[in-house]
Amino acid sequence: MGSPLNVGVIGVGVISRQYFEHFPQLPNLRLTAVADLDRERAAAVAAEQGVAALTVDELLTDARVDAVLNLTIPAAHADVAVRALEAGKHVYGEKPLALSTEEAAPVLERASALGLRVGSAPDTVLGTGIQTARALLDDGRIGDPVAAAVAWSAPGHELWHPAPAFYYQPGGGPLFDMGPYYLTSLVTFFGPVVRVSGAAVRSTRERRIGTGPNEGTVIPVDVDTHVTAILEHASGVVSTVTVSFEVWATRTPKFEVYGTAGTIAVPDPNMFSDTVELATADDREFHPVPVAAGYADAGRGYGLADLARAIETDRPDRASGELAFHVLEIMEAVLRAGSTHTVVELASTVERPAAVPLGARPESW
């Protein structure tokens, strides 16, 4: 392993805690500085982490920072990413890559022109859960894959999140919030999507914050809150995806993959290491399978560590900006298909990311 990648974090809200928790187990990353529009919050986090608290402008121009971890709100993702690239920094950001492919394209173009890397969450797909399911597929344990089905739902994040308004603005909603976990997994399993159809609705239900200092505040809803899509992969596999903020209770399975010789029950792709289950034509009962691939005991930050190793070894990074761009276009196409009642062809494509071998460490493989 070479020198650690020095990381500056922009945006130290709720999600940043999960990254800070895992930095100590990623020796090829070194947290160097943090910045936030809330200067007091940045100072408090910096004191906890033993690093410098800077303004956003100071962090972007600080020569000690090699890469920016962009944990701002979705509406700021593209702007912060481009500014970081222009300052000569690699970028890894929370999902989505941007609010639209129109916003995201200049990010990848600038990175390519400047010889810099762009990575994007979700990196949950690098954990043992999704990677073990992929290994079953690649090993032919369910024969030829035919289809996949996703059904994720919740009543709405306002019931638990103290500041949930952004979930109901562009860049939020169930598709942009939870869709990337499932769509990134599906592309990891079956390769790129070539066309989609879909439908989307929003209910008349009033959304009120249920906890925290703003409890009782009504939230404007400017996104669709129930989305269903059919995805056609270049490989021939067909995936159906439903994500919703409208479901109070359900018995629907979350994620299954169907093949000519069996079914894989895929664990929650918002997690890194839940158990995979397998049923076959010979035994149609589901049984847990041993871990067979993936970064063990992973957490948020492993995608950035994988990017750091990719820079060092000059290989493609797995949680790449190109993959995130393709997923973003899938989500855009689903909403466009729903509003126009048409089938939408995708313009982008992406290579299926390399598998993560069992026992690999992101700083050494």
pLDDT digits (tens, 9 = 90+) for 2-17: 789 999 999 999 899 9
Predicted confidence (pLDDT) per residue in 118-151, tens digit: 999 999 999 999 999 999 999 999 999 999 999 9
- Residue given tokens 């299926």 in the structure block: 352
Residues 83 and 145 in one domain: no
- With pLDDT > 90 as the criterion, what percentage of the chain qualifies? 94
Out of 120, 137, 162, pick the residue that ends a domain. 120
- Are residues 194 and 97 located together in one domain of the fold? no
Decide: helix, strand or coil at residue 331. Answer: helix
pLDDT digits (tens, 9 = 90+) for 295-339: 999 999 999 999 999 999 999 999 999 999 999 999 999 999 999
Q: Residue 130: CB partners within 8 Å, gap ≥ 6?
A: 124, 185, 188, 266, 267, 269, 294
- pLDDT for position 2: 72
State the pLDDT confidence band at 175, using cuts at 50, 70 and 90.
Answer: very high
Q: What is the mean pLDDT of residues 27-52?
A: 97
Percentage of the chain with pLDDT > 70?
100
Q: Domain holding 22: CATH number?
A: 3.40.50.720
175 in a structural domain: yes
Give a yes or no: residue 337 inside a domain.
no
Q: Which domain holds residue 79?
A: 5-120
Neighbours of 248 (CB within 10 A): 8
Residues 107 and 140 in one domain: no
Check whether 365 has a pLDDT greater than 90.
no
CATH of the domain at 203: 3.30.360.10
Statement: residue 364 has pLDDT above 90: no
**Does 280 map to a domain?**
yes
DSSP alpha helices (H): ranges in the chain? 16-22, 39-49, 56-61, 77-86, 101-114, 128-138, 173-190, 302-313, 321-340
Summarize the confidence of residues 85-108 as an average pLDDT: 97
Tokens of 105: 């394209």
On whether both 149 and 244 belong to a single domain, the answer is yes
pLDDT of residue 359: 87
* Distance separating alpha carbons of residues 207 and 124, to the nearest angstrom: 29
| Cα–Cα distance for residue pair 103/117, rounded to 1 Å | 17
- pLDDT at position 44 is 97
Answer for the pair 304, 67: CB distance below 8 angstroms, yes or no: yes
The more confidently predicted of residues 172 and 260 is: 260
pLDDT given for residue 253 in this prediction = 80
Q: What is the DSSP letter of 282?
A: S
Domain count, the chain: 2
Listed residues 94, 120, 146: the one ending a domain: 120
Say which range, 42-51, 161-170, 260-269, has the weakest mean pLDDT: 161-170
Domain shared by 139 and 268, yes or no = yes
Helix (H) or strand (E) holding 52: strand 52-54
**Rounded mean pLDDT of 207-221?**
96
178: left (phi over 0), alpha (psi -120 to 50) or beta: alpha
Other CB atoms within a 10 A radius of the CB of residue 21 amount to 12
Average pLDDT over the chain reads 96
Looking at 120, 155, 175, the residue that finishes a domain is 120
Query: 242 and 144 in one domain?
Result: yes
**At residue 1, does pLDDT exceed 70?**
no
What is the number of alpha carbons within 13 Å of residue 194 lying toward its C-beta? 8
Question: Same domain for 197 and 97?
Answer: no
Give me the mean pLDDT over the 50-58 stretch. 97
Q: Say if residue 197's pLDDT is above 70.
A: yes
Model-level pTM?
0.95
In-domain check, residue 215 = yes
If asked whether residues 86 and 153 sit together in one domain, one would say no
User: 92 with 163, same domain?
Assistant: no
Q: Strand order of the sheet with strand 5-10? A: 52-54, 29-35, 5-10, 67-70, 90-93, 118-120
